[in-house]
Chains A and B, each alone.
Chain A
């Protein structure tokens, strides 16, 4: 059972990252490669506030959310500037990620840091398995964020406006929706969510500049598995992949885990191009 909790909490981390991918992709149609680096930045900010300056953990969470939201806005400014082809968008988002990592290396060096969790992270025994407070919280956080965002998109005017932009930019514009603001808003929201999650992820994963790179692959697969654009899908995908990764590592061996995961990615794309939860579209000429 401990393995299950570990797998679920690992999956929750991927899910939280996949959620932020979804938020941007749903509104802007861009896969934001830099989201992992923004998450890493959040872990550093939380560390800086709580461990280096001994301030309140709540402040750490808030500071991380604010700084990451700002980073998202700045990235939006650069990435959304021209109307780029996919090719170039990959380049700019990776470039943004690299710049962020470069800044973190300069400010904090490559040394691995341990950050303190905002909540009590001692070990608990739950349902016969041991998990620390952080891991349980992360699982809960992933679920809460997913449900919250899904509701927001469905039932609030602003949320539906975002969906409208994703559906058809031009039409949304003509209906009076401020498309530009919505695009920026998506990046900012994704950043804020990353920041909040980061405050709880950092204590689990340690804080180092390449943290984002370690997470990006599986989070991407989660994103696709769930059906790009589907929030629930991304979270389920993340949790599923956490299980797959953990069990593969446990029973098959590390050498094959990456192959298995990429195989899963390919299988999904080929057989279920809309993922588990994505919507089907009929082709039109």
Chain B
């Protein structure tokens, strides 16, 4: 074996070429089944790997089911809906590059679902605006919700400022005697922006606050932060975070024996809390949600809800993530369909105009919403009265009312 290194290097090079061929970056132009009408393409560039993989997977599954439903009922004026999902590994550079590859490949999509987290969204929105492509998002990237600068960007969620007010409103309703609130959130993108918005709302509602943040990437114990907060004697604790940090907060609170009520914000409520904490650790814990997510027997729900529910229910019978996430994916398709159908065309300008003037913001196909978009508001408007605190326990993927542990 005269030149093992050289040969090995060639082998590696060939192998990587092989990998490259398989994971080809050039988008295939879709022809779909029928060649009569071009499909309506929805391109989702999301974080399918990394810590948020489960969240993304549910949203994408919801989207796939929504597309199936639409196609089974005649498509969009006869055009089939096609969903393309691309993984950006939660990296904004990769997200931007993938987007560019689609935009410059001559097969621009009709709608882009821009990212699981706001970092990806921020990277993609300027490109989408320049290319005049309609985009939807659920990550709360507030700076892109400015129709003057980003006229083609719409959010399926309410603005994060609204999240803050929802939280304040829900707390006031449930805990009218609380005056001072402690807050424990992460210092990553989501945590920081949530903190900003929650503080804004809470202060406006007259609460005084004490704040501690943690670093989600290398904290394994929240006792120090909780001790620091307890020393200031707040009457209630707001917690934020997704994944292990949520568990640490619950554990730490139990360990130091701190009995204040704990309210989980929007990010906290995405956790499957009963599988992460014991019953004693969940004492006095509630999470932010909306009225339409509180448990109601399946047959009382809309046709759309029942279809999606049955399609995505795991074989184990229990949901690992909130049903809300699947619903977002589903609604993504339904809103796009509503826009395209009302506009009678797939051009961005027409669809934007339709969205800003939706005839039926509460269509039966929508699971969430209502989507009262206007020329100056591209977020789903929150109904503050619909915001409630619910139990961390779920039944059939839906939240149980406050204080209940079983259905």
Direct contact of A and B (CB under 8 A): yes
A residues with a Cβ closer than 8 A to B are 2-3, 6-7, 9-10, 13, 105, 109-114, 123, 130-132, 204-206, 208, 210-211, 213-215, 217-218, 245-247, 249-251, 253-255, 257-258
Q: Is the CB of B219 within 8 A of A246?
A: no
Interchain nearest-CB distance for A81 vs B (Å): 12
Q: Is the CB of B215 within 8 A of A10?
A: no
Q: Is the CB of A254 within 8 A of B220?
A: no
Interface centre among A204, A245, A249, A253 (most CB of B within 10 A): A249
Q: Does B405 contact A (CB under 8 A)?
A: no
Q: Tell me which residues across on chain A come within 8 A of B220, comparing CB atoms.
A: 10, 13, 204-205, 214-215
Q: Is the CB of B225 within 8 A of A2?
A: no
The verdict on A213 contacting B217 (CB below 8 Å), with A3-B223, A112-B244, A255-B187 known, is yes
Q: Is the CB of A206 within 8 A of B213?
A: no
Q: Is the CB of A114 within 8 A of B217?
A: no
The verdict on A258 contacting B50 (CB below 8 Å), with A123-B254, A123-B255, A250-B227 known, is no
Interchain nearest-CB distance for A260 vs B (Å): 12
Q: Tell me which residues across on chain A come within 8 A of B219, comparing CB atoms.
A: 214, 249, 254
Q: Does B52 contact A (CB under 8 A)?
A: yes
Q: State which of B51, B52, B224 has its C-beta within 8 Å of the C-beta of A246.
A: B224
Q: Tell me which residues across on chain B come within 8 A of A13, comparing CB atoms.
A: 220
Interface centre among B50, B220, B271 (most CB of A within 10 A): B220
Cα distance A10–B219 in the bound complex, in angstroms: 10
Q: Does B343 contact A (CB under 8 A)?
A: no
Closest to B57 in A: A109
Q: State which of A7, A111, A253 has its C-beta within 8 Å of the C-beta of B213.
A: A253
Cα distance A226–B276 in the bound complex, in angstroms: 35
Q: Is the CB of B223 within 8 A of A105?
A: no
Cα distance A207–B246 in the bound complex, in angstroms: 13
Q: Does B260 contact A (CB under 8 A)?
A: no
Q: Is the CB of B255 within 8 A of A2?
A: yes
Interchain nearest-CB distance for B401 vs A (Å): 25
Q: State which of B243, B256, B271, B275 has its C-beta within 8 Å of the C-beta of A208.
A: B243
* Sample (28) of A-B pairs whose CB atoms are under 8 Å apart: A2-B255, A2-B256, A3-B223, A6-B221, A7-B224, A10-B220, A109-B53, A112-B247, A114-B275, A123-B255, A130-B255, A132-B255, A204-B220, A205-B220, A205-B248, A208-B51, A208-B244, A214-B218, A214-B220, A215-B220, A218-B218, A250-B224, A251-B228, A253-B213, A254-B212, A255-B187, A258-B215, A258-B218
Cα distance A132–B221 in the bound complex, in angstroms: 13
Proximity string of chain B (38-67) to chain A, C-beta cutoff 8 Å, 1 when within and 0 when not: 000000000001111110000000000000
Interchain nearest-CB distance for A163 vs B (Å): 32
Closest to B228 in A: A250
B residues with a Cβ closer than 8 A to A are 49-54, 187, 212-215, 217-221, 223-225, 227-228, 243-244, 247-248, 252, 254-257, 271-272, 275-277, 320
Closest to A132 in B: B255
Interchain nearest-CB distance for A110 vs B (Å): 4
Q: Tell me which residues across on chain A come within 8 A of B215, comparing CB atoms.
A: 254, 257-258
Interchain nearest-CB distance for B325 vs A (Å): 13
Q: Is the CB of B255 within 8 A of A246?
A: no
Q: Is the CB of B254 within 8 A of A254?
A: no
The verdict on A10 contacting B221 (CB below 8 Å), with A2-B255, A205-B244, A251-B228 known, is yes
Cα distance A170–B221 in the bound complex, in angstroms: 45
The verdict on A130 contacting B257 (CB below 8 Å), with A2-B227, A254-B187 known, is yes
Cα distance A130–B54 in the bound complex, in angstroms: 35
Interchain nearest-CB distance for A254 vs B (Å): 5
What would 14 more interface pairs be, CB under 8 Å, given A9-B221, A10-B221, A249-B214? A2-B255, A3-B227, A110-B54, A111-B54, A112-B276, A114-B277, A210-B51, A215-B220, A245-B224, A246-B221, A249-B225, A250-B225, A253-B212, A258-B218
Cα distance A258–B218 in the bound complex, in angstroms: 9
The verdict on A6 contacting B223 (CB below 8 Å), with A114-B247, A208-B243, A254-B215 known, is yes
Interchain nearest-CB distance for B290 vs A (Å): 24
Q: Tell me which residues across on chain B come within 8 A of A131, comparing CB atoms.
A: 255
Q: Tell me which residues across on chain B come within 8 A of A110, comparing CB atoms.
A: 50-54
Closest to A3 in B: B227
Cα distance A208–B187 in the bound complex, in angstroms: 20
Task: Give 6 closest A-B pairs by Cβ, nearest first.
Answer: A6-B223, A250-B224, A249-B224, A110-B53, A206-B244, A246-B224
Q: Tell me which residues across on chain B come within 8 A of A214, comparing CB atoms.
A: 217-220
Q: Is the CB of A112 within 8 A of B255?
A: no
Interface centre among A10, A114, A213, A255 (most CB of B within 10 A): A114
Q: Is the CB of B54 within 8 A of A109?
A: yes
Cα distance A200–B54 in the bound complex, in angstroms: 26
Interchain nearest-CB distance for B215 vs A (Å): 5
Cα distance A112–B212 in the bound complex, in angstroms: 23
Q: Is the CB of B247 within 8 A of A206?
A: yes
Q: Tell me which residues across on chain B come within 8 A of A130, comparing CB atoms.
A: 255-257
Q: Tell me which residues across on chain B come within 8 A of A218, comparing CB atoms.
A: 218
Q: Is the CB of B255 within 8 A of A254?
A: no
Q: Is the CB of A2 within 8 A of B223?
A: yes
Q: Tell me which residues across on chain B come within 8 A of A2, comparing CB atoms.
A: 223, 227, 255-257
Interchain nearest-CB distance for A124 vs B (Å): 11
Closest to B231 in A: A250
Q: Tell me which residues across on chain B come within 8 A of A123, comparing CB atoms.
A: 254-255, 257
Closest to B5 in A: A82
Cα distance A205–B51 in the bound complex, in angstroms: 16
Interchain nearest-CB distance for A130 vs B (Å): 6
Q: Is the CB of A247 within 8 A of B224?
A: yes
Interchain nearest-CB distance for B393 vs A (Å): 15
Q: Tell me which residues across on chain A come within 8 A of B276, comparing CB atoms.
A: 112, 114, 206
Cα distance A6–B223 in the bound complex, in angstroms: 7
Interchain nearest-CB distance for A107 vs B (Å): 13
Closest to A249 in B: B224
Interchain nearest-CB distance for A113 vs B (Å): 8
Interchain nearest-CB distance for A55 vs B (Å): 20
